[in-house]
């Protein structure tokens, strides 16, 4: 068992103000695998004060200096890739292959993207007789979720540091261990004291203290829409900037001319990504009525081919859910779907065969789902797919947009111009056409109740910059 008894503040490991600890469970074995301190509001204040003291020097550091530190960070993360992947497997239950490629691989790729983008970024521009400068905003409070714990931390921390901001990171209580590896990497690269700080703890204590602290200039939060509203409420008291990436109920819109087999099989895989614990998961599959029965059969066959089991086994496609509470929540949605008249095609509430220990849920597909059903409207955050028929393109677009969320969507068509036209009509922060991969240099974020602001690329960098106009400044 890995026990951490310190928090990371002002460039050193130090004891928290209180001696309470949070136990971390392996969701596959239901065994406690680690402990971290429960940081208090006082610990958060200490970290914010350290970040505030470090800000003047770090904000004035040359871009080349910041790049040097980030280059070292990338190298340390790459050297510890397997350790990072296995840590996320242990605390989240992600299958090892997925953990290597995404949970540990994406943070390295995101860091690399900023190393490549930052040298060409224009921090100064001329407008008429004025000079416009983009300056680091100040102290960043980063509050991250448990489903992609390392990636979400890096996607906030790296652009904040690249912009010249200092950071206090509060990781999710269910999966804080990988954030300790990140803090160790920050320490190993010799980052100046106070530039990066780590305070684990409960969201209602450490998270709220960070969001409300008057010396925090921007809060970057990823998590549930309900918690995002609370973060916004606390942050508004000091009018600080808030960047949020919240829930989703993404539609996978399959047009009549699409390659149905590819669209359905890929769609099922995206719906079950990370055991369905992905905010961008395509959990609503919209299919032309004439192809509906074929799509339902194909989706069921594909779902049944997803191996559920030990996340350390190389062939596993779906690991456990993060906790017993999350499993019960998902099973509750499955029961609600049945009660409201949806047809269970495969999966269901019973435990996967031979898996009586661990928070496992069978990959589940519902057909005959109406747009007003709970399973078609609420974010389930588990391996549950709803398939809905539509009669024409306008109805499909209306169904896709008929949600409080607007994080992601997908469109399938052999006619790329048509797919582009439909994509532009979808109310979502990103739309993938024919299963295209997300570009790490493109903006990531949502609209409506999926949040505000963007991560990744120059758009993510700009969230940590403020714009100043200097009039009559002459030349550069």
Cα-atom radius of gyration of the chain, to the nearest Å?
23
Partners of 451 in the beta sheet? 245
**Residue ranges of the alpha helices (H) in 237-323?**
260-271, 292-304
Residue 253 to residue 9: CA distance in whole angstroms: 47
| pLDDT the model gives residue 1 | 82
- Closest to 23 measured CA to CA, from 174, 158, 164: 174
User: What are the E-state strand segments in 137-262?
Assistant: 139-143, 166-170, 196-198, 218-222, 241-245, 251-254
pLDDT digits (tens, 9 = 90+) for 38-89: 999 999 999 999 999 999 999 999 999 999 999 999 999 999 999 999 999 9
| pLDDT the model gives residue 473 | 63
pLDDT digits (tens, 9 = 90+) for 296-316: 999 999 999 999 999 999 999
Answer whether residue 193 shows pLDDT above 80.
yes
| pLDDT the model gives residue 386 | 98
What residue spans in the chain does CATH classification 3.40.605.10 cover?
A: 2-246+449-471
CB neighbour burial string for 413-438, b if at least 16 within 10 angstroms, e if fewer: beeeeebeebbebbbbbbbbebbeee
Q: Which residues contact 334 (CB under 8 A, 6 or more apart)?
A: 344, 347, 348, 349, 364, 375, 384
Answer whether residue 344 shows pLDDT above 50.
yes
Q: Provide, for the chain, the percentages of residues in helix, strand and coil under a 3-state DSSP scheme, each rounded to the nearest 5.
A: 40, 20, 35
Angle in degrees, CA 41, 169, 431, rounded to 5:
130
pLDDT digits (tens, 9 = 90+) for 290-300: 999 999 999 99
109's torsion region: left (phi>0), alpha (psi -120 to 50) or beta?
alpha
Residue 407 to residue 431: CA distance in whole angstroms: 9
CB 453 within 8 A of CB 244: yes
Which 3 state secondary structure label does DSSP give 472?
A: coil
User: What are the E-state strand segments in 196-269?
Assistant: 196-198, 218-222, 241-245, 251-254
CB 171 within 8 A of CB 142: no
Backbone phi, psi, residue 176, to 5°? -95, -10
Residue 91 to residue 31: CA distance in whole angstroms: 10
What residue spans in the chain does CATH classification 3.40.309.10 cover?
A: 251-440
- H or E stretch including 430? strand 430-433
Residue 166 to residue 264: CA distance in whole angstroms: 44
CATH 3.40.309.10 is the classification of domain 251-440: yes
Structure token digits, residue 360? 């496992």
Q: Which residues are marked as active site? A: 245, 279
Strands 12-14 and 7-9: antiparallel
Residue 75 to residue 118: CA distance in whole angstroms: 17
pLDDT digits (tens, 9 = 90+) for 436-452: 999 999 999 999 999 99
- Segment 248-266 mean pLDDT: 98
Burial class (CB in 10 A: 0-12, 13-18, 19+), 372: exposed
Q: If you average pLDDT over every residue of the chain, what do you get?
A: 97
Answer whether residue 476 shows pLDDT above 50.
no
Strands 139-143 and 218-222: parallel
% of the chain beyond a pLDDT of 90: 99
Residue 418 to residue 434: CA distance in whole angstroms: 12
For the domain spanning 2-246+449-471, the CATH number is: 3.40.605.10
- Segment 25-36 mean pLDDT: 98
Reported confidence tier of residue 106, pLDDT bands at 50, 70, 90: very high
| pLDDT the model gives residue 474 | 61
Answer whether residue 94 shows pLDDT above 60.
yes
Structure token digits, residue 446? 């949502």
pLDDT digits (tens, 9 = 90+) for 361-396: 999 999 999 999 999 999 999 999 999 999 999 999
Backbone phi, psi, residue 21, to 5°? -130, 155
- Segment 339-354 mean pLDDT: 96
Name the pTM for this structure: 0.96
- Closest to 165 measured CA to CA, from 189, 184, 192: 192
Structure token digits, residue 199? 């305070």
CB 159 within 8 A of CB 463: yes
CB 364 within 8 A of CB 303: yes
């Amino acid at each position: 068992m890995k026990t951490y008894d310190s928090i990371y503040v002002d460039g050193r490991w130090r004891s928290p103000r209180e001696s309470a600890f949070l136990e971390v469970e392996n969701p596959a074995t239901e065994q406690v695998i680690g402990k971290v301190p429960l940081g208090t509001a006082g610990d958060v204040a200490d970290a914010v004060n350290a970040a505030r003291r470090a800000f003047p020097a770090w904000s004035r550091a040359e871009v080349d200096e910041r790049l040097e530190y980030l280059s070292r960070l990338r190298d340390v993360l790459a050297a510890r890739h397997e350790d990072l992947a296995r840590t996320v497997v242990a605390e989240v239950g992600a299958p090892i292959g997925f953990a290597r490629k995404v949970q540990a691989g994406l943070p390295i790729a995101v860091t690399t993207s900023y190393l490549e983008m930052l040298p060409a970024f224009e921090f100064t521009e001329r407008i008429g007789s004025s000079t416009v400068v983009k300056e680091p905003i100040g102290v960043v409070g980063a509050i991250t979720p448990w489903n992609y714990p390392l990636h979400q931390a890096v996607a906030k921390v790296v652009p904040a540091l690249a912009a010249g901001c200092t950071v206090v990171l509060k990781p999710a209580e269910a999966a804080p261990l990988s954030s300790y590896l990140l803090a160790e990497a920050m320490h190993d690269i010799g980052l100046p004291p106070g530039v990066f700080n780590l305070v684990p703890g409960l969201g209602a204590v450490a998270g709220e203290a960070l969001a409300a602290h008057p010396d925090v200039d921007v809060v970057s939060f990823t998590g549930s829409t309900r918690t995002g509203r609370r973060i916004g409420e606390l942050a508004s008291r000091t009018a600080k900037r808030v960047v949020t990436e919240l829930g989703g109920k993404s539609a996978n819109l399959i047009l009549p001319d699409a390659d149905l087999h590819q669209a359905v099989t890929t769609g099922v895989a995206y719906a079950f990504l990370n055991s369905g614990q992905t905010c961008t998961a395509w959990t609503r599959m919209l299919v032309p009525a004439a192809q509906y029965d074929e799509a339902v059969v194909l989706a069921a066959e594909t779902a049944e081919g997803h191996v559920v089991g030990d996340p350390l086994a190389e062939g596993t496609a779906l690991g456990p859910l993060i906790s017993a509470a999350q499993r019960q929540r998902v099973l509750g949605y499955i029961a609600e779907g049945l009660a409201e008249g949806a047809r269970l095609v495969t999966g269901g509430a019973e435990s996967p065969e031979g898996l009586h220990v661990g928070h496992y849920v069978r990959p589940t597909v519902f057909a005959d789902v109406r747009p007003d059903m709970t399973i078609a409207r609420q974010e389930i955050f588990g391996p549950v797919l709803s398939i809905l028929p539509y009669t024409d393109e306008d109805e499909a677009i209306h169904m896709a947009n008929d949600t409080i969320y607007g994080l992601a969507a997908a469109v399938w068509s052999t006619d790329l111009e048509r797919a582009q036209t439909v994509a532009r009509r979808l109310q979502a922060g990103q739309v993938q056409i024919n299963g295209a991969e997300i570009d790490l240099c493109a903006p990531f974020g949502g609209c409506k109740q999926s949040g505000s602001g963007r991560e990744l690329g120059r758009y993510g960098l700009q969230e940590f910059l403020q714009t100043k106009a200097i009039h009559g400044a002459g030349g550069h």
